[in-house]
Amino acid sequence: MTNDETSLRMFQIGEFFRYREDAMAGDSYAIAEVRGIGESGPDDSLGIDHITDSPSAANTGPYIAFRLYYFPENTKIGRLPKHDKNEVLASWRTPRLRMDVFESRLINTGEPVSVITYREYCRMKAENAFRRDNGLDVEPCVNKYFVRTDFRDFELEKNDYQGEIHVDL
């Protein structure tokens, strides 16, 4: 690898990662799903033509568009009794960041994380109950979260326009 090359990891559309936004405190994190990858420029597949990760940053390099899934306790409404322990809320936001900035915000625990639909989650729980009742191995639910509802946070979306992230509404 030459000095001009970067050591960015390869991302795939549909991959999930633990992601920490600047505003998140302590051990709080969201889950990011890669939705698109492209180069900067007016004709790229992400439609990025003027986005930077800071006011002085160059508008070059690959970008990632991603969807965020928040744990209810990390939103304004908080975790309610109706929320399952494995439930996350899907944000309407689709931020776009330079790939190196996105990568710097990922939290690596060495364990994969995924988000599935509520229907898939219910099916998995039912299959596990059947397996458990019949003495079979049970599929672990660790790091598997489900989404039942979307939410909008207009304050975050407003900040996206003023800050380093561009958002499609």
Q: What amino acid occupies position 95?
A: P
Q: Report the pLDDT value the prediction gives residue 130, as an integer from 0 to 100.
A: 93
- Burial class from Cβ neighbours inside 10 Å (0-12, 13-18, 19+) for residue 80 reads exposed
> Phi, psi at residue 34, to the nearest 5°?
-70, 125
Q: Report the pLDDT value the prediction gives residue 16, as an integer from 0 to 100.
A: 94
Q: Tell which phi-psi region holds residue 68, choosing left (phi > 0), alpha (psi between -120 and 50) or beta.
A: beta
> Cα separation of 3 and 149, whole Å?
45
* pLDDT classification of 157: cutoffs 50, 70, 90: low
Q: Report the pLDDT value the prediction gives residue 162, as an integer from 0 to 100.
A: 41
Global pTM reads 0.72
Q: Are 69 and 30 in contact (CB under 8 A)?
A: yes
* pLDDT classification of 156: cutoffs 50, 70, 90: low
